[in-house]
Amino acid sequence: MSLIKKLRDFFSKPSARYSAGGLIAIGAIGALILWGGTSTMMSATSTTEFCISCHEINDNAYAEYQQTIHFQNSSGIKAECADCHIPHDFAGKIIRKIEASREIYGHLTGIIDTPEKYDAHRPAMAAKVWSEMHANDSANCRSCHINLEENVDLQYTWASNNHKRMATENLTCIDCHQGIAHKLPNTSRMSKSIPPVNP
Ligand code: HEC
Ligand code: HEC
Ligand code: HEC
Ligand code: HEC
């Protein structure tokens, strides 16, 4: 039987001829292909190149980040946009990607397409990032900065005194370490409070 005929038969014959197991197997293969496609799409849209295809404009997000320790430091570990901005778990990634359609809409409507517009919109954008990071206990920061709380005694006093506060006050990394990759918004709504010097 030629392959074409086999295929034609396969698609034209009633499904009752195929066992439930066979159909499930086909479904599973289809799901795997979809999954693979999704993963490829996820990686492609998580690269810094992809992000800066929009965020390079106007010398803001990308240019500012390039001046910071997360772009270049002696450890050689570079934090990419996605390391800080995209959840690391698969479900979180999917949700973030769907949510990012708002960014495409914003791009098309030119919401941040001049330096002035960007600065005007920065407080709202930053506030969104802060509240996300506060809500997930700065999960992205913690994927690199591990065991910070366990090791407070190895840190210098100013840092350790402040890091100990995480156990007792409802504080997480982003509540104190804002403006680590970009300029802080220029606004009275800025929520950064300068932590006290050693008591
Ligand atoms: C199609 C262009 C485009 C691409 C690609 C893009 N962004 Fe955006 N991004 C925007 C626009 C426009 C906004 C402002 C959206 C708004 O506030 O409505 C934005 C907002 C943001 C914000 C502010 C907070 C928020 O959720 O609105 C962050 C953080 C951000 N982008 C990070 C990224 C990262 C990381 C990538 C790469 C994974 C990326 N963007 C890719 C256009 C883009
Ligand atoms: C991809 C890994 C990675 C991620 C994600 C990451 N960091 Fe870092 N961070 C580093 C590295 C590497 C350094 C530089 C260490 C060095 O050279 O001493 C650093 C340095 C720092 C410093 C010291 C800054 C200074 O000026 O000395 C702070 C504070 C910090 N990170 C906070 C954060 C916070 C808050 C987040 C989440 C928003 C975060 N980091 C996310 C890897 C990361
Ligand atoms: C209550 C405020 C506060 C919180 C919450 C906080 N930090 Fe800090 N952190 C500080 C202060 C203050 C310093 C010392 C000043 C500095 O180095 O910037 C510091 C220092 C650091 C340093 C530099 C240490 C060094 O040896 O140079 C890193 C890295 C860091 N923090 C990461 C984090 C991470 C990751 C989290 C969340 C798990 C976090 N911090 C939570 C206030 C805080
Ligand atoms: C080390 C973590 C880190 C990295 C790496 C990082 N960001 Fe951010 N980003 C933040 C934080 C934290 C904020 C919230 C505002 C703040 O505190 O500066 C933010 C805010 C933003 C905003 C909102 C505007 C603003 O200035 O607040 C945009 C847009 C953005 N990031 C895009 C990017 C893009 C694009 C890249 C890669 C070129 C990138 N970020 C790399 C941590 C990071």
- pLDDT at position 199 is 44
pLDDT tens for the chain, residues 1 to 199: 566 776 666 556 555 566 777 777 777 676 666 666 777 888 888 999 999 999 987 789 999 999 999 999 999 999 999 999 999 888 889 889 888 999 999 999 999 999 999 999 999 999 999 999 999 999 999 999 998 989 999 999 999 999 999 999 999 999 999 999 999 986 554 455 555 555 4
- pLDDT at position 185 is 86
Region class of 190: left (phi > 0), else alpha (psi between -120 and 50), else beta = beta
Closest CA to 135 of 174, 169, 192: 174
Q: Give the ligand 4 atom nearest the CA of 182.
A: 18
Q: Is 138 in the pocket of ligand 1 (CB under 6 A)?
A: no
Q: Is 103 in the pocket of ligand 1 (CB under 6 A)?
A: yes
**Helix H segments across 14-172?**
20-44, 48-55, 61-65, 81-85, 90-99, 101-108, 115-135, 139-144, 157-168
- C-alpha 40/C-alpha 131 separation (Å) is 29
How far apart are the CA of 172 and the centre of ligand 2, in A? Answer: 14
Query: Is 152 in contact with 145 (CB distance < 8 Å)?
Result: no
- C-alpha 24/C-alpha 21 separation (Å) is 5
First to last CA, the chain: 86
CATH 1.10.3820 for the 20-176 domain, yes or no:
yes
Chain length of the chain: 199
Domain boundaries, the chain: 20-176
- C-alpha 127/C-alpha 5 separation (Å) is 61
